[in-house]
């Protein structure tokens, strides 16, 4: 299980945003976990996870973040207290 190297939170946006970084590699593609791109996994050239981007901090985004953790074997930090009302 990969542990996050850094967590960035942007609370300036009304809905919040976050980035959970797992690598210092360059991202070359994204795996969007929903049609709205509210959660997307950044991948490097060999398909390893660089980070997970959340463009909303709501209950659905946290569910998708947990899904990303299961799919990519990632340790997922608890960001629930940082988001908009769920």
> pLDDT tens, 26-38?
999 999 999 989 9
Report yes or no: 16 and 10 within 8 Å, Cβ to Cβ.
Answer: yes
Please indicate, yes or no, if residue 82 is contained in any of the structural domains. no
Q: Summarize pLDDT for 51-60 with one digit per residue, the tens.
A: 999 999 999 9
- Position 78 confidence tier, pLDDT thresholds 50, 70, 90: confident
The residue segments making up the domain with residue 29 are 6-77
42 lies in a domain? Answer: yes
| In-domain check, residue 85 | no
pLDDT at 84: 53
- The answer to whether the pTM exceeds 0.95 is no
CA 76, 39, 6 angle in degrees (round to 5)? 45
pLDDT at 86: 43
User: What pLDDT is stored for residue 15 in this prediction?
Assistant: 84
* DSSP letter, residue 15: T
Domain count, the chain: 1
Per-residue pLDDT of 4-17, as tens digits, reads: 999 999 988 888 89
86, part of any domain: no
In a domain, 59, yes or no: yes
Rounded-to-integer distance, Cα 80 and Cα 78, Å: 6
């Amino acid at each position: 299980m990969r542990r996050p190297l850094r967590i960035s939170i942007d609370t300036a946006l009304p809905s919040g945003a976050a980035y959970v970084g797992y690598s210092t590699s360059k991202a070359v593609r994204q795996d969007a976990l929903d049609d709205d791109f509210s959660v997307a996994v950044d991948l490097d050239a060999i398909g390893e996870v660089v980070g997970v981007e959340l463009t909303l901090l709501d209950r659905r985004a946290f569910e998708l973040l947990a899904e990303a953790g299961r799919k990519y074997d990632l340790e997922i930090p608890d960001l629930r207290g940082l988001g908009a009302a769920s």
